[in-house]
A = this chain, B = another copy of it.
């Protein structure tokens, strides 16, 4: 036991490939698997394969789905003239939880990030341009994160989309609901001031 057992090391290495899982967490999770019942471990392994096998990208919006076309794109009541561009499926889910948005989505699967070697070609941008090119879309809301990379991606999309004759908008900046102004950073406060609205 002076060194980790090989199969445990391999398992920890696999956990470590998941987003946001560091080396120590990965090893703790691998140990934790050993405490599962045999049947539970089997079910866990099967769940990985089942999720991979059943979930793919919606051919319309590139969101994750386990159907032929995702439930939003398949929903006749959604407004197809309005598309919300998000970086990943989790953001689309977060938007859905608001229950106010009745348009459709387009999932980029990342942001442009030269630092991490992610170029526009690796994102689902040409699929977005193709959708807009079909003429049904009148407004594209770019809901990338308010970070440097998110902003840069939004700018890039805006330059590509405007010539196609669609409105390109972004989410409002401001202080989050329930936040304490005392602790808000200057840039957020500045943006909140800039975007102030009549009461």
> Which residue numbers of A lie inside 8 Å of B, CB to CB?
1-2, 4-8, 10-11, 13-14, 17-21, 25, 27-36, 38, 40-55, 63-66, 70-72, 88-90, 92-93, 96, 105
A156 to chain B minimum Cβ distance, whole angstroms, is: 22
Q: Using Cβ atoms and an 8 Å threshold, which residues of chain B touch A36? A: 17, 52
Contact A20 B28 (CB under 8 A): yes
Q: In the complex the two chains form, what is the Cα distance from A6 to B33 in whole Å? A: 22
A93-B41 in contact given A6-B66, A10-B51, A33-B48 (Cβ < 8 Å): no
Copies of this chain assembled into the complex:
2
A89 to chain B minimum Cβ distance, whole angstroms, is: 7
For A58, the closest partner residue in chain B by CB is B1
Q: Counting chain B CB atoms within 10 Å of each CB, which of A2, A7, A41, A51 scores highest?
A: A51
Contact B10 A47 (CB under 8 A): yes
A40 to chain B minimum Cβ distance, whole angstroms, is: 7
A70-B1 in contact given A11-B47, A41-B49 (Cβ < 8 Å): yes
